Amino acid sequence: MEIDLKIHTSSSQEKIKKDKDSWEIWIHEKPIDNLANKSIISLISKELKIPKTKIKIIKGVKSKIKKIKINYD
C-alpha cells in the first residue's frame, strides 16, 4: 500500500487528516537531522497499529511532499 503525504512541521499539535488518496500530517519536530521523518513514521505506526519497520519513505525524504509504502505482510 502506498500513501501520498503532505507534512506540516513545527506544529503545536500532532495529528493526521486522511483523505481518499492522501494524508496530511502535522508534527512537532523540525526538519533537522531526519527527526521529522522519524516522527512521521512513529505517528503513522501508532495510527495504524503496526511496527515502524513496516513503513518506509520511498519518495521525498527531504521534502514536505512524501510517498510512503506500508508492508502488511
pLDDT digits (tens, 9 = 90+) for 13-23: 999 999 988 99
The model carries a pTM of 0.91
Q: What CATH number is associated with residue 64? A: 3.30.1200.10
Determine the Cα–Cα distance for residues 43 and 48; give it in Å rounded to an integer. 9
Q: Is the pLDDT of residue 73 over 80?
A: no
State the CB neighbour count (10 A cutoff) for residue 46: 12
pLDDT digits 0-9 by tens, 31-69: 999 999 999 999 999 999 999 999 999 999 999 999 999
For Cα atoms 20, 22, 26, give the angle at the middle one, nearest 5 degrees.
125
Are 68 and 55 spatial neighbours (Cβ–Cβ below 8 Å)? yes
Total tally of structural domains belonging to the chain:
1
> How far is the C-alpha of 21 from the C-alpha of 13, rounded, in Å?
23
Residue 33 belongs to what domain range?
2-70
CB atoms within 10 A of CB 67: 15
